[in-house]
Amino acid sequence: MLQGNYEKKIIKPLEHELHEYANGTNKGILCCLANLMYRNFNNGIALPSACNDTDSKGIIARGEAPKQSNLYNSSLCVIRVQAFVLLLAIVLIFSGCKKEEEKSEMDLKREQREREWAEYGQKAATKEIDEKASAQVDFEDKTEAQISAEPLRKMKVGVLGAETGELFEYGLKTLKAVQLAVEEVNAAGGINGQPLELVHYDTGSTINGTLSAVDSLIDKEKVAAIIGSATNEVTFSSTKKLNDHQTILISAGTRRRIGDTGPYMFRTTLPDDIAVDELVDYCINKLGIKKFALLSSMSNDYSISLTALFKRFILNKGGEIVEDCFLWSETTANISKEECSIESQIGKIKSKPPDAVVYTGDPVEGVKIAKEMRRQGIKAPLIGGEDLYIDNFLKDGKDAVLGTIVYSGFYGNSNSPQTKKFVDSYRKKTGESPDRIAALGYEALMMVAEALKKTKSMRPTHIRDSLSGIKDFKGVTGAVSFTDNREAKKHAYILKAEKEGEKIRFNLIGGEG
């Protein structure tokens, strides 16, 4: 009973007041101590035996005048408790029990995305749709009777991408290219004499915008297929809805593998493993490069994964890795100054001279690395992925980037009739030169048009099977087929930065394209 009285009159109130203090809702620790003293001296309490040296039972009986020694010991106990409470408050403050600090922009964006997903999940849970029935059907092995029960789709294609927001550049490039392709298809007679209609929806660079647009393209527009721009929220946020409603999405440019995201998901991007394999093979067997140094940008996830592919294929093909360097961001914790320094990392490479330096990061950093290599007297060429295949890399790097060798899934100066026609038409329509994003959007629409011409019917399964069955399609990026997992099967262009007069340009030196 005494122990319970002690907990009720001291411990519980202390816990409550400390909690309020830690959350900024109490006036302070003085209130807590004042209340403690008031309860001790006015109401009479049961103190723990550890606080009372003269009374082994730890009892101050109500209604009795306490002895002088007991009063002294009780006061001493209060002082001890006060000291303990003050120490506890200090610990709470410095251990993080304080008001929430102002959140960074990145935290706010992350929380916004989480809220969007939660809102959509709640909406999907309460919305009555016929997903349960479709989920029980094996889309890969339908009978003709099941296929004949599928609703017919319209002769219509949708474009899904950001036309506003931070990702607008990707969406608009895809849209312009697809619009050009539809114009050409219809000018040539359409799909078996029927005009192909095009609709497009702006995702606003958000997940919610993407999900809303997918709903409209499926339920309202009843499109035969969707061309998606090369951003992750377009490619991966709506895969369940697309598959459940048997609607094709072709991702025109994403670098992430679609994997097992469903039988209605396609990708036309040149796979990095094919590209790196062909580039490394060309460097070792055609150019005689045997010794490689690797330099990864550790603030770039894509750089890390691409370096791993280079390492694998270099070793598999008999090459040697003489140095493996990692360039860290200056904002990374517990990283030395040398690990964040391009000069220091190039110095490490110089100490073990390679035949070539593989760099897998972005072009801005790539220019700095190329210049530092030349400053330190390294004449070996830089080797990289298609991120370096842009005009600014050549313009900003000047002579330092001469000899750089890269792979690409698209080469605008190709002599193929399909590529020449596309480049000329795109320039006339937009006033710009097309890049790989535009090329893949155009090519995706042309492949859908080919599938629609050959499909047995406008039912989803027949359209999907017709698209999956395309082999060696002559597109603007070369010959294209689809694997069993609906990934693109194609070859890389291998390009080298060379000087022609006063200009530096990437010229084709290898690869089938």
What pLDDT is attached to residue 98?
A: 43
Distance, in Å, from the CA atom of 255 to the CA atom of 412, rounded to the nearest integer, reads 20
Sign of CA dihedral 152, 156, 158, 163: negative
Say if residue 452's pLDDT is above 90. yes
Instruction: Using alpha carbons, select from 289, 23, 240 the residue that is nearest to residue 134.
Output: 240
pLDDT score of 129 more than 50: no
Each domain of the chain, given as residue ranges in start order, spans: 2-94, 153-269+416-482, 273-408+494-510
Q: Which two tokens stand for residue 493?
A: 């262009």
Q: What burial class does residue 281 get, using C-beta atoms within 10 Å of its C-beta: 0-12 exposed, 13-18 middle, 19+ buried?
A: middle
The pLDDT tens digits of the residues spanning 152-185 come to 999 999 999 999 999 999 999 999 999 999 999 9
pLDDT of res. 85 = 55
CA angle 340, 341, 342 (to 5 degrees): 120
- For the question of whether the overall pTM of this predicted structure is more than 0.75, the answer is no
Q: What per-residue confidence (pLDDT) applies to 62?
A: 41
pLDDT digit string, tens, across residues 456-483: 999 999 999 999 999 999 999 999 999 9
Q: How confident is the model at residue 261 (pLDDT cuts 50, 70, 90)?
A: confident
Query: Is residue 269 over pLDDT 90?
Result: yes
pLDDT tens per residue across span 374-397: 999 999 999 999 999 999 999 999
CA distance readout (Å), 197 to 163, 444, 506:
19, 15, 37
Both tokens of 513, joined, read 């394209």
* Mean pLDDT score across all residues of the chain: 82
Torsion of CA 245, 250, 253, 259, to 10 degrees: 60
Q: What is the DSSP letter of 360?
A: -
Give CA–CA dist 377/373, Å, rounded.
6
Residue 114 parent element (H or E): helix 105-126
Superfamily of domain 153-269+416-482: Response regulator (3.40.50.2300)
CATH superfamily of 273-408+494-510: Response regulator (3.40.50.2300)
Collect all residues with Cβ–Cβ distance below 8 Å to 29 and sequence separation of at least 6: 21, 85, 86, 89
Taking the CA atoms of residue 377, residue 379, residue 385 and residue 386 in that order, the dihedral angle to the nearest 10 degrees is 100
